[in-house]
């Protein structure tokens, strides 16, 4: 790993985004905006008279694994999932102020907005139609059945062991045990799902993991709105109420608690996460 001698500011990302638009011969149709992490930038463009979304990601070795950088590219081969299609892409080395690998990806433009723009955690009641729920279940089932060699260290045996010990500090009960080898969306939350029609966004973080992790992560990020959380639990009850699903919930809850330690818990999610973990550990 090397630290880039460059500050990743919005103005630099804007320059890289416009360079990507030029390389793909598309016309900007609005101002691009950096992602919540500040490492990726996206915005609308026009390509052959059609509205598309241009996502541009520099490879920042100090901030991401290579699997993050190639996630959207690798997800193009997945089938049966409601997600944006990858229409074109280009890679180059951006020279200024230091050489940085960059990947620009031209994706389907999604008209429907995310359920929590710019955030992960649900903070209000939302209407989820039966079609929306069915599409979500079908998409995650289709994903789980597809093979991949993608492995992210943050979602591996070693890191999960460290995480569970640090947060809970005691052995797991016999009713909690992971089943590894399922293909999962490892960052599934309400900022990555659109409505009223479902599209699953942000395919940086996906790969092999614990069966039920995607559903567990989504459930945990809904706990501040119990009625919606209950809908998600009912939709994935067979996964979540299994030994692997319970393990996945403990990991997701611990991961969120660790991350929220850096930010304000604006939806008062922490008490619900602690309650969920206590129930499972008991």
CATH code of the domain containing 257 = 3.90.1200.10
Number of domains in the chain: 2
Within a domain: residue 123?
no
100 shares its domain with 137: no
Mean pLDDT of the chain: 94
- Give residue 2's pLDDT band: very low, low, confident or very high (50, 70, 90): very low
- Give residue 263's pLDDT band: very low, low, confident or very high (50, 70, 90): confident
**Which pLDDT score is estimated for 215?**
98
pTM here is 0.93
- Give residue 6's pLDDT band: very low, low, confident or very high (50, 70, 90): low
Which residues constitute the domain of residue 238? 130-281
SS (H, E, C) the chain: CCCCCCCCCHHHHHHHHHHHHHHCCCEECCCCEECCCCCCEEEEEEECCEEEEEEEEECCCCCCCHHHHCHHHHHCCCCCCCCCCEEEEEEEEECCCCCEEEEEEEEECCCCCECCCCCCCCCCCCCCCHHHHHHHHHHHHHHHCCCCCCCCHHHCHHHHHHHHHHHHCCCCCCCCCCCEEEEEECCCCHHHEECCCCCECCCCCEEEEECCHHHHHHHHCCCCCHHHHHHHHHHCHHHHCCHHHHHHHHHHHHHHHHHHCCCCCCCCCHHHHHHHHHHHHC
274 shares its domain with 152: yes
Within a domain: residue 54?
yes
């Amino acid at each position: 790993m090397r630290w880039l001698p460059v500050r990743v500011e919005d103005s630099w990302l804007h320059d890289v985004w416009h360079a990507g638009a030029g390389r793909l011969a598309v016309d900007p149709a609005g101002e691009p905006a950096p992602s919540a992490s500040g490492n990726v930038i996206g915005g609308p463009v026009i390509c052959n008279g059609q509205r598309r979304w241009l996502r541009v990601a520099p490879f920042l070795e100090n901030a991401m694994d290579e699997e993050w950088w190639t996630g959207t590219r690798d997800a193009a081969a997945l089938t049966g999932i409601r997600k944006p299609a990858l229409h074109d892409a280009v890679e180059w080395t951006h020279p200024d102020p230091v050489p940085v690998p960059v990947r620009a990806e031209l994706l389907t433009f999604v008209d429907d907005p995310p359920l929590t723009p710019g955030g992960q955690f649900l903070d209000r009641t939302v209407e989820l139609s039966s079609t929306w729920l069915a599409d979500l279940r079908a998409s995650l089932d289709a994903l789980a059945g597809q093979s991949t060699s993608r492995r992210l260290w943050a979602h591996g045996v070693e890191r999960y062991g460290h995480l569970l010990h640090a947060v809970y500090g005691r052995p797991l009960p016999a009713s909690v045990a992971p089943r590894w080898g399922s293909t999962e969306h490892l960052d599934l939350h309400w900022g990555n799902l659109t409505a009223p029609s479902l599209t699953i966004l942000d395919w940086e973080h996906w790969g092999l993991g614990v069966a039920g992790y995607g559903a567990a992560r989504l459930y945990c990020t809904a706990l501040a709105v119990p009625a919606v959380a209950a809908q998600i639990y009912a939709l994935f009850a067979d996964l979540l109420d299994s030994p692997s699903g319970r393990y996945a919930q403990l990991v997701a809850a611990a991961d969120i608690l660790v991350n929220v330690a850096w930010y304000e818990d604006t939806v008062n999610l922490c008490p619900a996460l602690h309650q969920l973990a206590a129930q499972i550990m008991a």
